[in-house]
């Protein structure tokens, strides 16, 4: 079964609208590589302009969060209805920064997964262990709890469309990346969880990325592993040249 590799940039809280416009102008055409899916997950403020600029290109645009309700008295929040209205294709859910700084639990992540699917937005759902959990040999248990929590109540069809990003927290933004073999071992374990939750066919098609200090110099090594289907990239996705090199490296 061949799965299309997916490189997703997570801009986090970086880039004004003019900066996003100039980034897009530089990567258009170049970060569009046959056989690789390219996604830019930008701050909400950039989404109207990026979804327009991406029209007619193969680059998909993603958000970094959504609220699980469709509308209501939730000051400061953005719903799936609003994102779909802009033409957003993907949304990062359960990123470790949101779990750590904004109190997102597995239950909230699960509600957001359902909200994304209600509006035809594909989730990129993040799971991964803290350093102390890795040191206590709890990596698989943490990934199991987070994966089972995130997929509660989703159909096999929805699960098959979802992208999972395995992001060991100690590797995010630290320059310390997991070895490709270690990342592959955890990712194949996550794939086995999907098989247990659903079936073999779903586990075969679901795409699972690695994230954590991926850069142009190491992306090819991750992509060479049997179960790694791409990367979710923070820091190295912010510069056009580096983003283009990441997409080219995923071929």
3-state secondary structure labels for all residues of the chain: CCCCCEEEEECCCCCCHHHHHHHHHHHCCCCCCCCCEEEEECCHHHHHHHHHHHCCCCCEEEECCCECCCCCCCCCCCEHHHHHHHCCCEEEECCHHHHHHCCCCHHHHHHHHHHHHHCCCEEEEEECCCHHHHHCCCHHHHHHHHHHHHHCCCCHHHHHHCEEEECCHHHCCCCCCCCHHHHHHHHHHHHHHHHHHCCHHHHHHCEEEEECCCCCCCHHHHHCCCCCCEEEECHHHCCHHHHHHHHHHCC
Instruction: List the one residue from 89, 167, 227, 229 that touches ligand PEP (CB under 6 A).
Output: 167
235 is in an annotated binding site: yes
Task: Using the minimum distance from each CB to ligand PEP, give the nearer residue, 131 or 201.
Answer: 131
* 173 contacts ligand PEP (rule: CB under 6 A): yes
67, 95, 97, 129: which one is catalytic?
A: 95
97, 129, 133, 167: which one is catalytic?
A: 167
Cβ atoms of 57 and 28 closer than 8 Å: yes
* 234 contacts ligand PEP (rule: CB under 6 A): yes
Binding-residue total with ligand PEP (CB under 6 A):
14
- Is residue 95 part of the annotated active site? The answer reads yes
* 213 contacts ligand PEP (rule: CB under 6 A): yes
Smallest gap from residue 115 Cβ to ligand PEP (A)? 21
* 104 contacts ligand PEP (rule: CB under 6 A): no
Instruction: List the one residue from 235, 243, 244, 246 that touches ligand PEP (CB under 6 A).
Output: 235
Q: Which stretch binds ligand PEP (CB under 6 A): 65-73, 136-144, 167-175, 197-205?
A: 167-175
184 is in an annotated binding site: no
Cβ atoms of 229 and 220 closer than 8 Å: no
Q: Which of 91, 99, 117, 130 is nearest to 8 (CA)?
A: 91
- Is residue 104 part of the annotated active site? The answer reads no
Task: Using the minimum distance from each CB to ligand PEP, give the nearer residue, 62 or 234.
Answer: 234
* 233 contacts ligand PEP (rule: CB under 6 A): yes
* 232 contacts ligand PEP (rule: CB under 6 A): yes
29 is in an annotated binding site: no
Contact residues for ligand PEP, defined by CB under 6 A: 10, 12, 167, 172-173, 211-214, 232-236
| Residue set of the binding site for substrate | 10-12, 173, 213, 234-235
**Active site amino acids:** 95, 167
């Amino acid at each position: 079964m061949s799965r299309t590799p997916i490189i997703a940039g997570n801009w986090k809280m970086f880039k004004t609208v003019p900066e996003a416009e100039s980034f897009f102008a530089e990567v258009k055409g170049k970060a569009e590589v046959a056989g690789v899916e390219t996604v830019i997950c930008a701050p909400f403020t950039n989404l109207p302009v990026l979804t327009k600029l991406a029209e007619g290109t193969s680059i998909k645009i993603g958000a970094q969060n959504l609220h699980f309700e469709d509308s209501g008295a939730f000051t400061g929040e953005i719903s799936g209805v609003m994102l779909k209205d802009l033409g957003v294709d993907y949304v990062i859910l359960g990123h470790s920064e949101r779990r750590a700084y904004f109190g997102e639990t597995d239950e909230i992540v699960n509600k957001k997964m359902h909200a994304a699917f209600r509006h035809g937005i594909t989730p990129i759902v993040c799971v991964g262990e803290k350093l102390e959990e890795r040191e206590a040999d709890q990596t698989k248990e943490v990934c199991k709890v987070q994966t089972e929590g995130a997929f509660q109540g989703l159909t096999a069809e929805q699960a098959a469309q979802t992208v999972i990003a395995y992001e060991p927290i100690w590797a995010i933004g630290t320059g310390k990346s997991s070895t490709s073999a270690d990342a592959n071992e955890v990712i194949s374990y996550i794939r086995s969880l999907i098989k247990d939750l659903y079936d073999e066919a779903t586990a075969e098609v679901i795409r699972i990325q690695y994230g954590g200090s991926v850069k142009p110099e190491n992306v090819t090594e991750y992509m060479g592993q049997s179960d790694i289907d791409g990367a979710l990239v923070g820091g190295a996705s912010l510069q056009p040249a580096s983003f283009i090199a990441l997409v080219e490296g995923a071929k």
